[in-house]
Amino acid sequence: SLFLNEKFVDILLDKKTLIKKLVREKTVDYGDLVGKDSYGNKYYENLQSQKCRSRIIDYPYRGPQEYDASLIPPDWYNWLHNTTDKIPQKTDMKPFFLLPHKPNQTLFRTR
């Protein structure tokens, strides 16, 4: 049952987390921590959730313009959108010609 899940109850009891999830994300998703990327994004997976909606991302707080799809590195993007089931690791080999991922800077420019 949904209400007997320990992680869901923890979210309901922690007011700060509950408000953050409802105001920022407009949903109360939960799951097991799978990994974290270099931008501070945390990735979760809930295997009891609906198929193709079981992978969740938690963006760190960055101010009023908080998150953008370009803040997700390509390997995590593939995992998040169920293109692959392989969880990205820092030790994974990458081709020598790949450039490092850079998010779109338009969102973060200063005046």
List 45's β-bridge partners, or say none.
32, 55
What value does the mean pLDDT take over residues 12-31?
68
Give this prediction's pTM. 0.68
Quote the CA–CA distance of 58 and 55 in Å, as a whole number: 10
Going from N- to C-terminal start, the domains of the chain cover: 1-28, 31-91
Tell me the C-alpha to C-alpha distance, in Å, between residue 98 and each of 39, 41, 88, 101.
18, 21, 16, 9
Give the model's pLDDT for residue 35. Answer: 93
Q: What is the DSSP letter of 93?
A: -
pLDDT at 1: 40
What pLDDT, on a 0 to 100 scale, did the predictor assign at position 3?
46
pLDDT digits (tens, 9 = 90+) for 71-99: 899 899 999 998 999 999 888 888 889 88
9: enclosing H helix or E strand: helix 6-13
Amino acid at 103: P
Question: Residue 57's beta-bridge partner residues?
Answer: 43
pLDDT tens-digit map of 39-52:
888 898 888 777 77
